[in-house]
Amino acid sequence: MKQIRTSKFSKLIAYYLAIMMFLQVTQPVRMYALTSGPTQPEFNAFTPIGTSDMVDLASGDFNYNIPIMDVGGYPINLAYNSGVSMDQEASWVGLGWNLNIGQINRDVRGLPDDFKGDLMTYENNMRDNLTVGSSFYINPQIIGSLDNIPISLGGGLNMQFNNYKGYSAVPSYGLSFRLSDQVSVGMQLSSSNESGATLTPNVSLSYFSKETGDLSNSFGFSLSPSISYNSREGLSSFNINSGITYKNDFGKKDKSIGGSISFLNNTFTPSKRVGLKNNGATFSYSGGVDIWGFI
């Protein structure tokens, strides 16, 4: 008995029970009204007109239905259930009686049909979203040029500060392999603490005709498809870019076109986009160090 009184575990249990008893006396849980309370029986469920078991064999409760009328093929009946609980309130036809005529439930996605043709005004108050950052990228070369080497490597770091999200650092790595003069494959890998890792493999196809005639006419075509896969979102987008180049003695003309398909945020609920004004500025600088050598 003395060991139980002096035990730290017994004292801890005693303190816990004393605190729980004090809270139940001063602030019982029922004071917060966490339950929904009693509800009207006609708002619970629909009662069918046909009742096969008048008496419940387990509890002895009596059930009975009285057909009232038929509205457009929809029957309305007066039902009675003797199993009344202590907290159940009487309906509009009496205690234990229920005249349930049904109800219509409607779910609204976006704007309801009642607002068709009406002028809607949206007001949004947001503070300015400011993003400031710098990026560094390194393209190493061997003895001045990579024309004779089919593999090229690169790496960089993008550091940003956003007044909404804070600081972020996104390292990126690139690898490309030239299969021939017209075909090359590559891969870009970037990692971010906000969006996870993104892998972007790509293929580049190009063709340039030789100069013909006295005017040195030449024609070129390029096609670059790529896909993006994110570690958190899965397959995110498919991108494709193409270009046409025509060159002669009078000049050079370039035309390019591109497109993108996103596989994210697919929803069938109409949404209202907020009009935003974006201002951006980009500064770039390229530099390097040359070391003389020969191969």
What's phi and psi for 20, nearest 5 deg? -65, -40
- For residue 235, which phi and psi values (nearest 5 degrees)? -65, 115
E strands present in the chain: 63-71, 74-81, 97-98, 131-138, 151-162, 166-178, 183-192, 196-208, 218-230, 234-248, 251-262
pLDDT per position as a tens digit, 255-267? 888 888 887 765 5
* Distance between CA atoms of residues 64 and 53, nearest Å: 9
**pLDDT (tens digit, 9 = 90+) per residue, 98-131?**
886 666 677 777 778 888 888 888 788 888 888 8
Q: What's the whole-number mean pLDDT along residues 76-81? A: 82
Q: Mean pLDDT, to the nearest integer, of 242-250?
A: 80
The mean predicted confidence, pLDDT, of the chain is: 77
Q: What percent of the chain has pLDDT over 70?
A: 76
Q: What is the dihedral of CA 77, 78, 84, 85, to 10 degrees?
A: 60
Place of tokens 């057909």: 67
Total-model pTM: 0.46
**pLDDT at residue number 114:** 83
Amino acid at 95: L
* Alpha-carbon gap, residue 240 to 227, rounded angstroms: 9
**CA–CA dist 30, 4 (Å, integer):** 35
User: Positive or negative, the Cα torsion across 53, 55, 58, 61?
Assistant: positive
Lowest mean pLDDT of 98-102, 134-138, 221-225, name the range: 98-102
Asked if 130 and 278 touch (Cβ cutoff 8 Å), the reply is: no
Residue type, 42: E
